[in-house]
Amino acid sequence: MVEHQKIIAHLNNLSDSGIAEHSQRFFKTGKGEYGYGDKFLGIRVPVLRKTAKSFQDISIIEIQRLLKSEYHEVRLLSLLIMVGQYSKGNNGEKEKIYNLYLKNTKYVNNWDLVDSSAHYIIGPWLVDKDRSILYELVNSKNLWERRISIMSTFHFIKNSEFRDTLKLSEILINDTEDLIHKAVGWMLREVGNRNKEAEEKYLHQHYNKMPRTMLRYSIEKFSKARRQQYLKGEV
């Protein structure tokens, strides 16, 4: 039995049908919902994180096989392993993981998969490189690629670099997906946590065009009085 098969067998032993049923509802797998058709084994995230640490040495080929799984938790495990390998890898190894990620974005197909990986792999790789890929992703028809673009900038925000976050947020301001509104609002809030002036400058220009969810997320840490000013358009 090859490595990825051993891992899948291990995960099958950890599965729980009750948890799986709950996850299918939580991640909106019904017809017409964003996670339509996704399948779950029923394994909690802390268990997956612990499991990922036990399989950090598997090859990139085995990782890719896991990433293509029909089961959500197997894909998440593969991403957690990738994040671990990226953090410890040399430049060549980091590049391979980055390329693997970009070639397989169709399998990074739910918000938790994106949020657990993009700003640990895509963001760090692009720190000192051309970032045009983010602008390709942000214009994708694929919801998850658009979320990858904005979430990747979380790494830049942590280093007090806001330019790409603000530019991408402006591009996404008319996006129709609620999961994009939430992600953009979250990243704008993170900008404000580090530089409130930078966030408010952006908001002054765009708040009256922002979807309500995006605006609410972005001003969540403001005082109640200040939040009401934005929500009532009295800024």
Neighbour tally for 9: CB within 10 Å:
10
Radius of gyration, CA atoms only, the chain? 19
Per-residue DSSP letter, 15: -
105-164: pLDDT as tens digits: 999 999 999 999 999 999 999 999 999 999 999 999 999 999 999 999 999 999 999 999
Higher pLDDT, 2 or 17: 17
Looking at residue 4, what is its pLDDT? Answer: 82
Instruction: Categorize the per-residue pLDDT at 2 as very low, low, confident or very high, splitting at 50, 70 and 90.
Output: low
What is the structure's pLDDT at 234?
A: 87
Which domains occur in the chain, in start order? 1-116 (1.25.10.90), 128-235 (1.25.10.90)
Provide the whole-model pTM.
0.96
DSSP state string for 154-181: HHHHHTT--HHHHHHHHHGGG---HHHH
Task: Kindly report, residue by residue over 49-106, the tens digit of the pLDDT.
Answer: 999 999 999 999 999 999 999 999 999 999 999 999 999 999 999 999 999 999 999 9
